[in-house]
Amino acid sequence: METEKKSRIKTRIAKLEERLLSRVNFYRYNYLKNWVIAAMDVGLAAGVSGLVFVMYAPITGPMGRLNLLFMFVMAGVASVIAFYAFKTHRIIIRYMTVKGLLPIGLAVVLKSGLLTLMLFSIRFLQPGLYHKFCLMDLLITLAVLSGVRIIMLIVYGIVNEKITTGSQKVLIYGIDEKSASLLLRFQKSATYRPVGFLMHDRINRQYRLNDLRVYHFETQEEVKKIARQLGVTSVIFSMYKDVQKEKDRLIHFCEQEKINIMMVPPVDEFSNASKMRLQLRPIAIEDLLGREEIHINMEVVVDKFRDKVVLVTGAAGSIGSEFCRQVAGMGVVKQLVLLDVAETPMHTMQLELDEHFPNLNYVAIIGDVRHKQAVEDVFTRYKPGVVFHAAAYKHVPLMESNACEAVGVNVEGTRIVADAAVAHGVEKFIFLSTDKAVNPTNIMGASKRLAEMYVQSLGLAIANGKDQGVTQFVTTRFGNVLGSSGSVIPYFRYQIKGGGPLTVTHRDITRFFMSIPEACRLIMEAATISTDNEIMVFDMGEPIRIWDMAERMIRLAGFTPGEEIEIIETGLRPGEKLYEEVLSTEENSTATVHPHIRIAQVRSNNYAAVNKAALAVVACAKEMDAEETVQLLKKYVPEFKSHNSVYEVYDV
């Protein structure tokens, strides 16, 4: 009977707790207001001082009570000064660590010392009591303020545990400081509940971190066992380097076992409490294809751009827009000039710059690099000192059926902008080329190769005194960038969202990939370290098999390749290669001061001959004679051999 009664009482209490927690939105009350914390600290500190005063000067009669009141006032004044000086009211108790006790301790030392000096100045205590009063006040105040915060943390932890009972259980990867700090950020999440830490180790040591067990794994079976034992749905990474380290081990295991892999921005990206909300996102294919962050000497780069007018063509494109962001972020350019023919993307870029760089002096111009007068007007009006020429047509199959347009933008557009740069005394011209210009098998690549030849030969003519000018030309050559508009990764995502199938042109096709920010950093570095008219090639890492990438993207989406989502082979498209190169068989390269940038040793071309060739190809393109245009391209770019294209008939 007694047992039944106790059971009923427990049930009622549990229901009452559930009802209370369901009605009160605990997370609505994010943090105690600063003034509440300040009032609490001042009140407690003044109360402690009053208590210590009573210990050494017992209260007797009205005079004693008046002295006690005076002590409260003096202690309150000293506390306000001390706590304001160390900003203890701004420390969020919920996320407080041992480091958070340091400013509180210093504030208490200041408060006790200041109060003792104030009392000594008016001879408020008996001689010989001041040092005892100061020490006792300091110790008790510190104990009380620390104790109250610890109690609040314990209470919060209990309530938080009740609320997160139904949350998804997750494991945090790693046992370093950032992984441990990540646990604090989960305290505010009603969706996820960490149940332990995970690390790769052969020895299963019984470690605990922040009262959670550290689990060790070596094989996929061990990961599966840990996940099932704990009911884990996700593994959380806090650092990009850990993702790279585990992409072929833990992340692969999780993909096979259909355990979610998530990332969270590093803790040090957040500068204030309002940004400490948990921002989990699924691991993306870009995280796995990317590499460790490439570092460049930003001080040197910034100095090269300081007080310069920088013109970026193709400024609304994938590379051009990121380049504008990075230049704007330097905060040192005199003016940033954006030139692009695409109205809507340019408008979007304008809105972004206005929001994130309100003090940036910039101008957005809608213009076509093929229109000579429009380009001349930009150079005359804004007088750029540095030009980044990113405007180009880049999609291989589309350009294969639009040869004249490809030549118009990639050859004529480059020639017009380069000539304007020389005529207006631009210091440096950086031309963005592509690995498809190496042994080109398509019109896009061949047109970019002819543009490379024009830029390089013009630079050499100036350097050798055969043409007037001061402009230095630099060509950068790199492969595909991750996530650019119209590229394979966004298209695969679109196909996965639709339930498949994913289409790959050939089972063995490979490509080099680089992130857009990484490419832009290397372009800046190349522009800085180049001293002559050089073609700079980037270290693109290892080529990626597109079929493997498709399978991995399906697994990352939580599906099984070949079963839930199919991958089908569609055949190579017109002009498409099985693999890309950054150097032709006739080219070598030499090292630079940057380990990821090399200088291509390419054959020199006579400027007069290349200019004549470019004019001939462009003139033919303007007549919209695609066949003749392609034949001329093959004549002037002899390594251009069409592949899987109607233009193969013109190959010699």
Average the pLDDT over 392-413 and give the result: 94
pLDDT at 48: 82
152 pLDDT higher than 70:
yes
Exposed, middle or buried by CB within 10 Å (0-12, 13-18, 19+), for 57? middle
Q: Given pLDDT bands bounded at 50, 70 and 90, which one contains residue 446? A: very high
**In the prediction, which pLDDT does 417 show?**
97
Higher pLDDT among residues 421 and 541, named by residue? 421
pLDDT, tens digit, for every residue of 502-526? Answer: 999 999 988 877 778 888 888 888 8
- The segment with the largest mean pLDDT, out of 18-32, 137-151, 501-515, is 501-515
Looking at the domain 298-484+513-540+581-644, which fold is it?
Rossmann fold (3.40.50)
Given a cut of 80, is residue 185 above it in pLDDT? no
- Identify the band that residue 76 occupies on the pLDDT scale cut at 50, 70 and 90: confident
Is the pLDDT at 379 greater than 90? The verdict is yes
Q: Determine the Cα–Cα distance for residues 45 and 50; give it in Å rounded to an integer.
A: 9
> Is it the case that residue 427 has pLDDT exceeding 70?
yes
Q: Look at residue 580 and tell me whether its pLDDT is greater than 50.
A: yes
Asked whether the predicted pLDDT for residue 587 surpasses 60, the reply is no
pTM: 0.68
The per-residue pLDDT for range 6-15, each reduced to its tens digit, is 566 656 665 5
Say whether the peptide bond before residue 345 is cis (omega within 30 degrees of 0).
no
User: Could you tell me the two tokens for 433?
Assistant: 């080329």
- Name the band, by pLDDT with cuts 50, 70 and 90, for residue 282: confident
316 or 175, which is more confident?
A: 316
Helix (H) or strand (E) segment spanning residue 282: strand 281-282
**CB under 8 Å to 493, separation ≥6 — which residues?**
553
pLDDT at site 202: 65
Return mean pLDDT, the chain. 81
Cα Rg, the chain, nearest whole Å: 34
Provide the pLDDT confidence category of residue 261 given band limits of 50, 70 and 90: confident
Q: Please report, for the chain, the start and end positions of each structural domain, with discontinuous segments joined by +.
A: 2-161, 167-283, 298-484+513-540+581-644
Strands 472-478 and 428-434: parallel
The CATH number of 167-283, from 3.20.20.30, 3.40.1260.10, 3.40.50.720, 3.40.50.300, is 3.40.50.720
Average pLDDT over residues 570-581: 82
Amino acid sitting at position 551: E
Buried/exposed 241-271: b ≥16 CB within 10 Å, e otherwise:
ebbbbbbeebbbbbbeeebbbbbbeebeeee
Q: Please tell me the distance from the alpha carbon of residue 175 to that of residue 160, in angstroms, as a whole number.
A: 23
**pLDDT over threshold 90, residue 58:** no
pLDDT in tens, 616-652: 999 999 999 999 999 999 999 999 999 888 888 878 6
> Which one is predicted more confidently, 612 or 142?
612
pLDDT of residue 443: 94
Distance CA 406, CA 396 (A): 10
**Range name among 377-381, 416-420, 523-527, 620-624 with the lowest pLDDT average:** 523-527
Helix (H, G, I), strand (E, B) or coil at 109: helix
CA dist., res. 442 & res. 575, Å (int): 4
309 φ/ψ angles, rounded to the nearest 5 degrees: -90, 120
Distance between CA atoms of residues 405 and 626, nearest Å:
9
Residue 49: which pLDDT band, with cuts at 50, 70 and 90? Answer: confident
Whether 448 shows a pLDDT value over 60: the answer reads yes
Comparison of pLDDT for 273 and 57, the residue scoring more: 57
- Which residue carries 């009603």 as its tokens? 190
Give the Cβ contact number of residue 196 at 10 Å.
Answer: 18
